[in-house]
Structure 1
Amino acid sequence: MLLRKPRFSHSQLTDLEAGPNPECTEQFVLEGVSMKATLTKTGILLTPLETRRCWPLPANLPSSIPFSEILCVATSHSVPSWRCCRGLWRTQKVTHRLSICTFKRPRLHQCHWVSHSVELESQEEDVVRRWAADINEAVSINSVRPKALLVFLNPFGGSGRAPTVWARDAAPILSKAGVRCKVVVTERPLQAYETVRDLPLLDLESYDGILAVGGDGMFQELLNGVMALRSCGEADRAAAAAQLRLGHIPGGSTDAVAYSLNGTRSAVTAALHVALGDRTPLDVMRVDTADGSHRFSVCYATYGYMGDLLRTSETLRWSKWLGGRRYPLAGAFTLLRGRSYRACVSYVPSTPATSKSVECTSQCQICAEATDARAGDTSLHSSAPSEGEPAWTVVEGEFKSIMAIVTPCRSDMSARGLARTAHLSDGRLKLVLVRRCSVLQYLRLLARIPTLGIDAEHDLPFVTVLDVVAVAVKPIGAESSWNVDGELMPSNHLSARVHRGAVQMFSRGVE
């Protein structure tokens, strides 16, 4: 019979290749296979001591478990029982179990993490207890992991599944990791924004981050609340707010923020990123209007087709029987109307331009150059021109749609993103100008978005995609509406500027 070695799913650690330490090596049993386990500076190295002749063979046995991917370690033991062996009744020995709470990555979808427990068994109780203590100590040394979080839960957004998502998927993971959570269930719009904006200094210093459980609207409230804190004029509160990390536990209808950050809408994956203390900077776009109001966005600002669609869907909100079906109905109506709008578009091109073939991943070199969030950064207070930047370029014409896209904006409709070559923290906006075209031409553009994205190289002469750092739009004549992350702006005279890596997120990017 052919011998078959077990397959491994966890990635190898570079530091583990230095060789085992005889003083930190023990023998355990994992899924019936004898394993030699070695503690190193960065994790646990597991080496099989035997091959199996029986069938079926255990698959996907881990070859290494980094400390950075361990939530916690627990010990237990099996209760002795009697069994019949060769006609004689004998009692089994007590088996002590070392349960390592971690996760695994499915082969077909590496971003979609799944909670997993590695069960190492031994007959020696002292060995199991000593290893549990050593591993927990190594895990606790990681200072980037959060200790206390402020959680806002929106029970009304999307399909109303946020409470279930929190209780079933996110809360148990954070509890295992020893993270204390204060949960605030919102009861009205802007409650989360106002609560965060008014947080006293003592509370700000007691939290390591803030989580939004719900849809993109809930996250936008938290984002704007934190940005309001950073420009409140009080140096201590502004500095404390700049150190907070934000997280999005998806529980809405689109969840573009969590999807763009993690490559999946899985609440378990998002919670694991938070519990493990992952960190990545995220670009933020400040949007100013002529009436003096402003808001911050991490997704998009659109004028024309998407603005008309949102405005039309809002008029259908009164119809309860339509529900979520009002969006495709509004989209079809807006498309058939085929309206275009005249506008003057001014923008500042980014330098240097990036390659259109580069997509953002967890190992993105472009995003790695982003600096940490800065407290008291006065550039966040306005979208006005900065010194030393290139001159503004002015384009006037009739446009079907104008889009300023901050991040890839991934969703179920476009898994690789509305703008595939956008990055999480490259300090650029994707400015998409769609000039006047027929209904069939625009429908052709919409049909390409799920497979190619709107910024892909194409043969559509009415579409222009530019890398910019700032944009200003002045409507001429009949006006559409600005749709900023699913919210209508009160004024259509708009200017926007991107701020590179302005906030820190609980994420590591798309793997």
Structure 2
Amino acid sequence: MSEPEELPQREQRESTKKKKKTKRSGKKKKEQREGEEQVEFEQEVQSVSECVVLHGIFKLGKKSHDVLLTRTKLTWTPIIPENPTGETGVPQSGEVLLQDIFAVKVKRRRAAGQESGGPVLGVALFWCRRKGRRLEEDTLHLHNASSEHTHTWYNTLKELLTGFSNRPTNLKVFINPSSHKKEAVHIYRDHVAPLFKMADIRTDITVTERKGHVLSVIKECKLDEYDGVVCVGGDGSVAELCHALVLRAQLDADSPEKPVRATLPLGIIPAGSTDVVSCSVHGVRDPVTAALHIVLGHLQQVDMCSFSSHGQLVCFGFSAMFGFGGRSLARAEKKRWMPSSRRREYALVKTLARLRPEDCQLSFLSARKSNSNLFVQRDKDQDQDQDPKSEGEESWVTNQGLYLSISIMSIPCLSPHAPQGLAPNTSLANGSAALIAVGNTSRSEFIKHLKRYSSSTGQFNFSFVETHAVSAVKIRPCSLIGCSEDESEEEGDLKTTPFIHAEGTTFPWNIDGELVEIANEVLIRVHPRLITLYGEEVEEAESSVSCSCI
């Protein structure tokens, strides 16, 4: 009797298995159908974008070419007549993407002194060519004597180029005439203004006259009349303008406590001595590259830091150095009459000769959703729009001791002197900052650490160097009694003697290349994607600079 009873159960199990298989196969077929539909949709979109908008014949140089224009690119192929022997050469075709074209003009033949009119010769396309990290201007001349044919192509190209909505048409420009070698005005006039004019960009120029001039103009300026702001100057000018744009956004949003994202993107034309921020978004210190990034509307969101003391905002910025970085800048500022390279080397050598640690309390909040060690892995998938203000959820890590240098950087801080950056593997918008704390050590070991910044890697492979990805940092200097900074130094490396700090004295900070004197505890907090810059993420800066002083 047992066998007949087991038979229905077996049939039931087999029936259930068949149903499950049918269900799984149905699910797979559905997923396959959806995948095929997605591929078909993408192919349709591509076919629409690659659909020929215009087809014509132009001369490039002395040869006639068959030219095709789609919504994404322009291609040309030489027209080669048939050879009586039946042999044909290989045509040398070419193409340029519309996203790289920033201007189109009608070419005309004009007599000397003639400013308008003249017979039509064709169209000229001004486009951007990449050469490594540099962007270079190039021109494509399409010759055709037909006025109707030429204007049809000109109008169509102009219409297609208006589809790139990120490209500015009206810019507010600030020029710092005192920056670096006082050549900012010439850099703008010779390299940048012609490109803006070619791209039909209107500009409203302000030449700054004093510190704080930018902030006063931005506060009163009608920002809705512009598509972006441009700074021609060094890192100090850039930081001042970024600070002004964020404060203006707070003012407009009626949010005096919480930082608000700046409404306009900022373009940086490098005209300083190091141009760290420009190198971090361009990879090179080249005004033409920077101008072409602006003209083509390449946008990159960037994290910023707020620096405050005793509850009062000091400034917004990208990087800060306390200890060695602050003291070397303070010495350099006293020698402004020197050339910038000599001034920098003098300050570096002098500060190394009188190297002393700072006794301070260092506290930090580790960035959420990222590794505690910044230089292990970059987490690009984290929620970058979330402002890490979680003091109640996360505990502060606090250490007290002697530090030669403490750096906080929300961007990689690339420069010709540190092509990998002062904070390698830090992205522009990962929602955290790099904390690099260099503990007390011998002068020779500290110099080894500094020298490795100019090479590829290894600057953090020291037991006295501590690195973290952080969302906030507090630095509280302690009042100590010890040897004076100006006291003559004994032979050998002084490892344990900190600076004297009389009551009421201030501590030098290097914030984006500007000297800031602060007497009390400083709180640095990271604000993700607080500003948008014209440029793009780069891994390494172009460099041919080396410092021979260490």
TM-score tier, shorter chain, comes to 0.7 to 0.9
Q: Which residue of 2 aligns with 1:57?
A: none
- Please show how residues 210-221 of structure 1 align to structure 2 within 5 Å: 210-221=229-240
1:253-275 CA distances to partner (integer Å, 9 max, x unpaired)?
11111111111111111111111
1:128 and 1:405 map into 2 onto residues whose CA distance is 52
1:77-121 CA distances to partner (integer Å, 9 max, x unpaired)?
4589xxxxxxxxxxxxx9833200111112xx2x20111111122
Q: Secondary structure at the match of 2:125?
A: strand
**Paired AA for residue 342 in structure 1:** D
1:400-439 CA distances to partner (integer Å, 9 max, x unpaired)?
1111011111111122322221111111111001110111
1:123 and 1:437 map into 2 onto residues whose CA distance is 75
- Please show how residues 123-272 of structure 1 align to structure 2 within 5 Å: 123-199=145-221, 203-232=222-251, 235=254, 242-272=262-292
Q: Secondary structure at the match of 1:338?
A: coil
Question: C-alpha displacement at 1:458, in angstroms?
Answer: 4.7
Q: What is the aligned counterpart of 1:409 among 413, 424, 428? A: 413
**Paired AA for residue 390 in structure 1:** E
2:321 and 2:249 map into 1 onto residues whose CA distance is 26
Q: Which residue of 1 aligns with 2:121?
A: 96
1:191 and 1:242 map into 2 onto residues whose CA distance is 19
Question: C-alpha displacement at 1:471, in angstroms?
Answer: 0.5
Q: Secondary structure at the match of 1:45?
A: strand
- Please show how residues 283-322 of structure 1 align to structure 2 within 5 Å: 283-290=303-310, 292-298=312-318, 300-317=319-336, 320=337
Aligned CA RMSD, in angstroms, stands at 3.1
Say if 2:52 and 2:69, in contact at 8 Å, map to a contact too: no
2:110 is aligned with 1:73: no
Using the TM superposition, name which of 501-510 and 467-476 deviates more. 501-510
Q: What is the aligned counterpart of 2:351 among 334, 346, 356? A: 334
Q: Secondary structure at the match of 1:136?
A: helix
Q: Which residue of 1 aligns with 2:472?
A: 470
Task: Give aligned pairs, total.
Answer: 451
Say if 2:107 and 2:122, in contact at 8 Å, map to a contact too: yes
Change (3 A) 1:233 1:148: closer
**Paired AA for residue 464 in structure 2:** F
1:21-66 CA distances to partner (integer Å, 9 max, x unpaired)?
4662223232445433221122323344459x9xxxxxxx883322
Change (3 A) 1:268 1:350: same
Q: Which residue of 2 aligns with 1:461?
A: 463
1:371-401 CA distances to partner (integer Å, 9 max, x unpaired)?
49xxxxxx7xxx9x53564211111211111
Q: What is the aligned counterpart of 1:482 among 509, 512, 516? A: 509
Change (3 A) 1:33 1:18: farther
- Please show how residues 309-388 of structure 1 align to structure 2 within 5 Å: 309-317=328-336, 320=337, 324-353=341-370, 356=375, 366=380, 370-371=384-385, 385-386=389-390
1:289 and 1:344 map into 2 onto residues whose CA distance is 15
Q: Which residue of 2 aligns with 1:504?
A: 532
2:455 and 2:151 map into 1 onto residues whose CA distance is 52
**Paired AA for residue 341 in structure 1:** E
1:342 and 1:351 map into 2 onto residues whose CA distance is 28
Q: Which residue of 2 aligns with 1:422?
A: 426
Question: C-alpha displacement at 1:20, in angstroms?
Answer: 6.0
Q: Secondary structure at the match of 2:123?
A: strand
Gaps (5+ residues) in structure 2? 1-43, 84-91, 112-118, 481-499, 502-506, 540-550
**Paired AA for residue 407 in structure 1:** I
Say if 1:204 and 1:241, in contact at 8 Å, map to a contact too: no
Question: C-alpha displacement at 1:174, in angstroms?
Answer: 1.1
2:533 and 2:382 map into 1 onto residues whose CA distance is 14
**Paired AA for residue 250 in structure 2:** S
Change (3 A) 1:137 1:388: farther
Question: C-alpha displacement at 1:140, in angstroms?
Answer: 1.7
Say if 1:150 and 1:182, in contact at 8 Å, map to a contact too: yes
Say if 2:365 and 2:473, in contact at 8 Å, map to a contact too: yes
**Paired AA for residue 44 in structure 1:** L
Using the TM superposition, name which of 39-48 and 229-238 deviates more. 229-238
Q: Based on CA coordinates, which of the two structures has the bigger radius of gyration?
A: 2
Change (3 A) 1:262 1:17: farther
1:31 and 1:292 map into 2 onto residues whose CA distance is 64
Question: C-alpha displacement at 1:142, in angstroms?
Answer: 2.3
**Paired AA for residue 418 in structure 1:** L
Q: Secondary structure at the match of 1:71?
A: strand
2:45 and 2:195 map into 1 onto residues whose CA distance is 27
2:53 and 2:166 map into 1 onto residues whose CA distance is 29
Q: TM-score scaled to structure 2, two decimals? A: 0.75
1:313 and 1:473 map into 2 onto residues whose CA distance is 23
Q: Secondary structure at the match of 1:38?
A: strand
**Paired AA for residue 178 in structure 1:** D
Q: Secondary structure at the match of 1:500?
A: strand
1:389 and 1:38 map into 2 onto residues whose CA distance is 60
1:23 and 1:407 map into 2 onto residues whose CA distance is 43
Identity of aligned residues (%): 26
1:119 and 1:50 map into 2 onto residues whose CA distance is 19
Change (3 A) 1:76 1:492: same
Question: C-alpha displacement at 1:233, in angstroms?
Answer: 6.2
Question: C-alpha displacement at 1:482, in angstroms?
Answer: 1.9
